[in-house]
Structure formats: structure tokens, C-alpha cells
């Protein structure tokens, strides 16, 4: 420790056995840690919050109030197409309504509003009038003017600009007013309806209402003018179109007639001549084929009967023949006479012979008649076949003609459809032209004002309450962001958990900061004297816990030699070494402490005496160990100091004499504590650390950076030192609870201590 004996650490952890255990996070967000951050950074967060809210409030108060009102317009939902290229009404599609919104916001329409209200004569819309003391611009306009002035080409330096005429100046002021009005008018569609809101903003509530209503009125007037112009264009278009369509209809109908004549497509009662002829021929052919079949059947019947020698009496043609009938009667009479004569005369009787001759003659006549009948049937069949062939040939010719006509009718159908289409278009244009006499639809706009603008009673900007609320939100965000940034940039450790998490080492002690050291008489006591004077204090308990951590650091191996080091000077290691030695001696253990810092001799100075012989003299063999050792009368602690007269460049700790000394001290003492120099500055401290059983790294609470400690641990690891853990010194007990100490709160166990 330094000479001012700054604070030292409180006992906060128990001895560590084995590797450190890192606590498992139970949640992504630790509410307690967030609250601890707020507690640590409370005042700076409060300052940022207050300053932000104050700045927003001041800016809001200095802003010029602005008033906003709106006029609501409804668009007519008609969408009837009159003729090609002309529509009556506005389309109801989203694109059409959005187009109307852009029409209302156009510079052409806003120019008419500026002209009607003469806005270029008002300072709010004419920056050239701001030079008038009675026409001061608002805060927003002043900011815009300042920004415009610093932009390239935005300065209104009258000396650099050429002189302009009155007309040019008036036009410039007019266009400027239109541009400024464009920034003060906002047109939006209300959801998916046909309603459009026209919002106007001005420093005057009355002027804001006038602007909104005038924009809506000019929009209606613009629509009427557009419809009248469209009516004129439509009338001329219809006249030209009707003349052209009339000629097209005449030509189309003439083409249909000529085509029908060319292809003989004349109809009768809706049926073509070719179709009628095919129908007639088909009917005749059917009848002829039936007659042919009947004649062939009769002929075949007769022939088959004659061929098998059967009786022809059943044949219809025979039955229908009068000649055959008469011959059959005669044949029957001859047969009767033959039967009578046969019974009366013999076979050779002349009458019998006559009768037989008559019978033969009748049979010959029947046969001749049968031949005639067959010949007649064959003639009928030939005639029927000839007729069928003729009808079939005629049918084929008619079908060919019909097929040709059908192919020709495809072209006729196209001509007729084209002619009909032209007649329909002509009729539609003719009806539209007849309706043009009535112009009532052109005297009505496609949009109307649904509700006029009301004069606002309160400004829309600035919204003081909302701005202050937003300022509070912004202040809270900035405060939280600053606190988070400070935590992210925090390079120090505060709790034993931080040590275990950052370095993977055990936290073996937390020595508290002694802010009020009691004194005996006029002499201020040191922490080591405070330890003896207050053995039941929290400070003494922290040193006692540190000793316990050293003793139980490794249960498998006895640890007698302990080197105490730090990364940098003034981190409290020397005072801690002295206090640890006294506590060990007070506990009954044979203890010796060695001053191993050759450059500063801090342990010797803390003890408060100037020895004539000490550690170096003994190593060089000038004095014995007993002669170089001093005894603390209050505790019986043995001390091996450094004299002020001896400085040596030799490697004392790397010598065999030092090794022999350590081995001999192990036989005589229970605990040997070596106070070394800062390990980042002194090479001999690294040698000592490699030769002792344990190394304790001392780090100043909220002062030593984590990178410094990490470098120290790396060096000790490279030298194969056995690191027992890290001890925090100068722990401010009043502030530590803000850093989330995980153990028992100091206030909860302070009743066990007589003092801090």
C-alpha cells in the first residue's frame, strides 16, 4: 500500500476450491443488473434527461404557432365510357383517385389559389417582405431561410444578382408564394373511399380555412373547365367519326352482297338453293332405291321359284296376271275332261289324245306367259337401277356444290360480322351524337365539397404537451443510451463475479476502504495498527478471510510460501502483506514476511523503522538469519526487511542462496509471505512468483483496468506461477452495493462487527 494508507477491502468471498464457477444466466435480461446500472449512473442520467426536456421545452416555446384545418371533398364514383377515348366521370380505381390527389397538389391549381387570395402580398408567403419590421417571419421560416442561405446558390445576395424588372420581380414573388403554399397544403385520400382531405396550414387560423376552401373550389372549377373542353373536342370528334363510320358501313354491306352473288349464296326462307336441291335429290334417291329393292325382290322370287321347279301360283305377279288365270282355268277344265274320258275310254282313244294335246298347248301358253312376266320384272329392275344411278350422280354434284358454298360462307360470315360490328359502332356514335344536344352533364363537376374547413381554435404546431412528452421520451432514451455506453466503456471490475467472469480466477478477498482511521494521541495509525486495535471489525474479518483462502486454496498440498504482487504501484499490496502477516501471527501461526521490493522498500517503510541489516545482507552471507530478522512485539510476527544502504544489480531471487533461504524458512515457519514489486514493471517479481507455492494478485477496486490484470495473469501463466486468486483492495463499501455485489449486504452483517 501507499504511504497514505488508502482504503482496503472487505471480506466478500469464501475460499475457492478448484477452478472458478461462472454463474449461469437464467434470463436474457437481468432486471437487477439494469437497476444497478441506473443506480450507478443516476445523476448523469438525470442531468441528460433534464437538459433534453429543457431544450425541447425551450424550443417549443420559441416556435411560432401554426394552425391546420381541412376541407373534405368527395369524388363522383361514375365511370361510364361514352365513346372510345372519352369517359364521363372519374374512374373509381385507386390509381385514378390518387391521380386526382396529385391534380389538387399541382402547381397549376395552386397558382390559381395564390392569384385568388393574393398570397404573394402576405409576409408568410413572400420572403422579400421579411425586411419589413412589421412582417417578421416565424421560427420555422427563419430556420428555412437560414438553411437556404448557407446552401450553395441559396443566398439572396441582392448585390450579386442582376437588376430585375417589376414584372420579373412580381413573377418571382408569385412563384415563390406558390412553392411555399405547396409546402403548406397536404392532400390525402381517406382510406379506400372516394373522399379526399385537403389540409391547409398557416400562421393565421382564418387564412388556413380560406386556403383549404379555395383549393377545393378551384378544383371544382378546374373540373368544369376540363369537361367543357372535353365536350368541344368530343363534338368535333363525333362528327368526323360518324362520317367515316357511315362510309365504312356502306362499303361493308356492299362487300357482303357482292360476295353472295359471286358464290351463288342466295337463300330462300333461310335455306340456300344447294341445300334445297340436295334435300329433294336425297328424297328421290331414297324412293328409287326402295323401288329397286322391291323389283329385285320380285324378280329374285320368281327366278328362285322357277329354278327349283316349284309352283308359281303363290307368286304375286302370277296371281295378278289375267292371262295366267284364264290359262289355269282352262288347264283345270282339261284336267276334269281328261279324268272323265280316262274312265270311259282307254289311253289310246282319240279324245284322250286330243285332251292331252290341249293340255300341252295350255302349259306352253303358261310357260310363255311366265317368261314374259320375268322379262317384265327384269325391265323394271333395269329402269330402277338406272334411276338410282342418275340420282346418286346428281346427289354427288349437289354435295360438291354445297361444300364449296360452305367454304364460301366462312368468308361471308366474316364479312357479315364486320359489317354488323360497323353498324353497331355507327349506331352507338349516332345515339351519342343525338345526346350531345343536352349539356347538363357538363355543368356538373365530378367532385363536390363534402364539408368546408372550420377555423381552428388551437394551433396544430407546436403541440406543447406532445413535444414535452416526446422530449421526455428522447431524454430517457439519451440517458439510457449514455448509461449503456458508459457501461460498455467501463474497463473496471466491481464484484467477485466480475473477476470470475472476466479473468477465470477466484476472488479470494475484498479489502474495504478505511475512510476514517482512528488515532492514538496525535499519531495517525496505519491499517496494520487498525487491525490490532479493532480485531472484530469488518476490516479485520476481510484479512482473516484472506488468510483462510490461502490456507485452504489447495487441500492436497501444503502451501507455505505466498508471494503478493500487483500490476501497478499503489494498489495496496504492501499494507495487505503486513496486515496478512500480523493476522497470521495473531492466529498462532509462525509467520514471516519478506520485503521483496528492492526499489521502493515499501514494506519496510510501512513498518516504520530503518534496519541496519536485513534481507540482502543475509543473502550475501554478511549476517545470520536471526540477525537480519526483526520481530513485531505486538503480534510476534517475524519481518525480513530491506536496508536503505544496499542496492544491488544482482539477480537475488534467481540465486541458489534465495532458494536455500526459502527451504530453510519452510522448516521454521508455517507461512512465508513475500511482498514483491509490480509485476508489469519488475522482472524479479516474476521470478519470485514462479518459486512460491501461491501467488496472490492484488487489484485496486474500480481503478485497475481489466486489460492490466489480464496482462498480469498472462505473465504469471507464462512463468508457471500457481495463482491462488485475485484480491480487491480499496473497496468503497458505500458504493459497492450499486455495482451488484452478489453476496450478503454489508448492512445485513455489520451487526457482527464492532466497527468497519
User: Residue 265: left (phi > 0), alpha (psi -120 to 50), or beta?
Assistant: alpha
The 8 Å CB, 24+ separation contacts for 237-243 are: 237/83, 237/85, 237/86, 238/83, 238/429, 238/432, 238/433, 238/436, 239/433, 241/83, 241/429, 242/426, 242/429, 242/430, 242/433
pLDDT value for 309: 63
Instruction: Judge whether 70 and 500 are in contact, CB under 8 Å.
Output: no
678-707 in b/e burial notation, b at 16+ Cβ within 10 A?
bbbebebbbbbbbbbbbbbbbbbbbbbbbe
Residue with cell 442561405: 149
Cell numbers at 209, concatenated: 380555412
Q: Which residues in the chain land under pLDDT 70? A: 1-30, 77-92, 131-162, 231-233, 235-236, 238, 264-274, 309-321, 346, 405, 408-409, 433, 435-443, 515-524, 553-556, 645-650, 734, 736-756
pLDDT value for 183: 93
DSSP 129: G
Closest CA to 318 of 333, 331, 305, 307: 305
CA 537 vs CA 144, 479, 502, 735: distances in Å: 69, 40, 30, 19
pLDDT value for 18: 39
Contacts of 67 (CB under 8 A, 6+ apart): 201, 202, 203, 204, 205, 208, 456, 458, 459, 460
CA 79 vs CA 85, 194, 444, 449: distances in Å: 13, 13, 14, 19
Helices (H), 263-321: 273-307, 316-319
pLDDT value for 109: 93
Cell numbers at 118, concatenated: 393574393
pLDDT value for 516: 56
Instruction: Judge whether 674 and 562 are in contact, CB under 8 Å.
Output: yes
Closest CA to 86 of 190, 211, 236, 193: 236
pLDDT value for 236: 67
The residue length of the chain stands at 756
Condensed to tens digits (0 to 9), the pLDDT of residues 420-456 reads: 887 888 787 777 767 665 555 555 777 888 899 999 9
Amino acid at each position: 500500500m501507499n504511504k497514505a494508507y488508502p482504503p482496503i477491502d472487505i471480506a466478500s468471498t469464501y475460499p475457492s476450491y478448484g477452478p472458478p464457477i461462472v454463474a449461469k444466466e437464467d434470463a436474457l435480461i437481468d432486471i437487477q443488473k439494469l437497476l444497478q446500472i441506473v443506480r450507478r449512473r443516476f445523476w448523469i442520467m438525470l442531468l441528460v434527461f433534464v437538459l433534453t426536456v429543457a431544450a425541447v421545452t425551450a424550443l417549443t416555446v420559441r416556435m411560432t404557432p401554426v394552425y391546420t384545418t381541412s376541407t373534405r371533398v368527395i369524388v363522383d364514383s361514375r365511370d361510364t365510357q361514352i365513346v372510345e377515348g372519352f369517359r364521363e366521370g372519374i374512374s373509381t380505381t385507386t390509381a385514378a383517385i390518387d391521380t386526382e390527389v396529385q391534380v389538387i397538389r399541382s402547381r397549376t391549381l395552386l397558382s390559381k389559389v395564390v392569384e385568388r387570395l393574393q398570397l404573394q402580398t402576405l409576409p408568410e408567403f413572400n420572403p422579400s417582405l421579411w425586411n419589413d419590421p412589421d412582417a417578421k417571419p416565424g421560427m420555422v421560416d427563419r430556420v428555412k431561410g437560414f438553411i437556404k442561405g448557407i446552401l450553395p446558390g441559396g443566398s439572396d445576395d441582392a448585390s450579386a444578382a442582376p437588376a430585375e424588372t417589376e414584372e420579373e420581380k412580381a413573377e418571382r414573388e408569385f412563384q415563390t408564394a406558390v412553392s411555399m403554399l405547396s409546402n403548406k397544403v397536404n392532400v390525402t385520400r381517406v382510406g379506400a373511399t372516394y373522399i379526399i382531405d385537403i389540409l391547409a396550414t398557416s400562421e393565421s387560423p382564418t387564412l388556413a380555412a380560406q386556403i383549404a376552401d379555395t383549393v377545393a373550389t378551384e378544383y371544382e372549377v378546374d373540373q368544369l373547365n376540363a369537361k367543357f373542353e372535353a365536350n368541344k373536342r368530343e363534338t368535333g370528334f363525333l362528327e368526323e367519326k360518324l362520317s367515316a363510320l357511315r362510309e365504312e358501313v356502306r362499303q361493308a354491306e356492299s362487300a357482303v352482297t357482292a360476295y353472295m352473288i359471286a358464290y351463288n349464296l342466295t337463300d330462300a326462307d333461310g335455306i340456300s338453293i344447294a341445300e334445297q336441291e340436295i334435300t329433294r335429290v336425297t328424297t328421290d334417291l331414297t324412293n328409287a332405291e326402295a323401288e329397286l329393292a322391291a323389283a329385285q325382290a320380285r324378280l329374285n322370287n320368281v327366278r328362285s321359284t322357277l329354278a327349283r321347279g316349284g309352283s308359281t301360283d303363290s307368286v304375286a305377279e302370277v296371281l295378278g296376271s289375267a292371262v295366267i288365270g284364264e290359262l289355269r282355268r282352262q288347264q283345270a277344265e282339261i284336267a276334269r275332261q281328261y279324268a272323265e274320258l280316262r274312265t270311259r275310254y282307254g289311253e289310246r282313244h282319240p279324245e284322250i289324245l286330243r285332251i292331252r294335246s290341249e293340255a300341252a298347248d295350255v302349259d306352253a301358253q303358261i310357260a310363255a306367259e311366265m317368261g314374259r312376266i320375268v322379262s317384265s320384272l327384269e325391265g323394271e329392275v333395269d329402269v330402277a337401277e338406272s334411276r338410282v344411278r342418275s340420282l346418286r350422280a346428281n346427289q354427288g354434284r349437289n354435295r360438291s356444290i354445297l361444300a364449296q358454298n360452305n367454304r364460301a360462307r366462312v368468308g361471308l360470315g366474316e364479312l357479315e360480322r364486320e359489317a354488323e360490328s360497323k353498324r353497331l359502332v355507327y349506331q352507338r356514335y349516332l345515339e351519342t351524337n343525338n345526346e350531345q344536344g343536352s349539356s347538363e352533364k357538363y355543368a356538373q363537376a365530378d367532385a363536390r365539397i363534402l364539408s368546408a374547413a372550420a377555423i381552428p381554435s388551437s394551433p396544430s404546431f407546436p403541440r406543447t404537451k406532445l413535444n414535452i412528452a416526446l422530449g421526455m421520451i428522447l431524454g430517457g432514451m439519451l440517458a439510457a443510451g449514455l448509461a449503456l455506453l458508459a457501461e460498455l466503456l467501463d474497463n473496471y471490475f466491481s464484484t467477485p463475479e466480475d473477476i470470475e467472469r472476466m479473468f477465470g480466477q477466484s476472488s479470494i478477498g475484498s479489502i474495504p476502504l478505511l475512510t476514517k482511521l482512528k488515532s492514538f494521541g496525535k499519531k495517525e495509525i496505519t491499517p496494520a495498527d487498525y487491525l490490532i486495535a479493532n480485531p472484530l471489525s469488518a476490516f479485520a474479518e476481510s484479512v482473516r478471510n484472506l488468510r483462510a483462502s490461502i490456507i485452504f486454496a489447495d487441500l492436497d498440498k501444503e502451501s507455505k510460501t505466498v508471494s503478493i504482487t500487483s500490476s501497478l504501484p499503489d494498489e495496496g499490496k504492501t499494507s495487505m502483506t503486513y496486515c496478512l502477516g500480523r493476522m497470521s501471527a495473531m492466529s498462532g501461526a509462525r509467520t514471516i514476511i519478506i520485503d521483496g521490493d528492492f526499489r521502493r522498500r515499501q514494506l519496510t517503510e510501512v513498518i516504520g523503522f530503518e534496519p541496519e541489516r536485513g534481507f540482502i545482507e543475509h543473502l550475501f552471507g554478511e549476517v545470520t538469519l536471526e540477525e537480519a530478522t526483526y520481530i513485531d512485539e505486538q503480534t510476534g510476527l517475524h519481518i525480513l526487511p530491506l536496508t536503505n544502504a544496499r542496492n544491488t544489480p544482482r539477480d537475488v531471487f534467481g540465486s541458489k542462496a534465495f532458494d536455500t533461504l526459502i527451504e530453510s524458512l519452510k522448516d521454521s515457519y508455517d507461512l512465508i509471505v513475500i511482498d514483491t514489486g509490480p509485476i508489469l514493471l519488475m522482472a524479479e517479481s516474476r521470478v519470485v512468483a514462479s518459486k512460491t507455492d501461491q501467488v496472490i494478485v492484488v487489484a485496486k477496486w474500480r481503478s485497475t483496468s481489466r486489460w492490466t490484470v489480464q496482462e498480469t495473469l498472462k505473465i504469471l501463466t507464462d512463468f508457471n506461477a500457481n495463482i491462488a486468486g485475485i484480491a480487491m483492495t480499496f473497496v468503497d463499501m458505500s458504493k459497492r452495493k450499486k455495482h451488484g455485489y452478489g453476496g450478503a449486504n454489508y448492512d445485513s452483517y455489520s451487526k457482527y462487527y464492532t466497527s468497519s
